[in-house]
Amino acid sequence: QELPGLCQGGQCINTFGSFQCECPRGFVLNTDTRVCEDFDECEQPGVCGPGKCYNTIGNYTCICPVDYMQVNGG
């Protein structure tokens, strides 16, 4: 039986007698609501080094300070 709203934003995987929710990259499962929510990568210390981190839905962007250059696709 399907339950509306279950694993919203992700994929519901049928398992024996139960299910699992798999969220796309950049999202985490809220265990209370069983909904995939945006993960704020900018809350991780140093994610952008000396730059400024901007969270976007499912991703993030780093902006380098003057005289710095972005490397390694970060």
pLDDT, tens only, 33-47? 889 999 999 999 999
The string of pLDDT tens digits covering residues 1-21 is 566 677 899 998 888 988 899
Dig out the tokens for 9 from the structure: 């934003």
Is 3.40.630.30 the CATH classification of the domain at 1-38? no
The token pair at 71 is 């490397």
Average pLDDT value for residue range 55-61: 95
pLDDT at residue 30, as a whole number: 92
- Residue ranges of alpha helices (H) inside the chain are none
Task: List the domain boundaries for the chain.
Answer: 1-38, 39-69
pLDDT attached to residue 14: 87
Q: What pLDDT score does 16 carry?
A: 92
Model confidence at 52: pLDDT above 90: yes
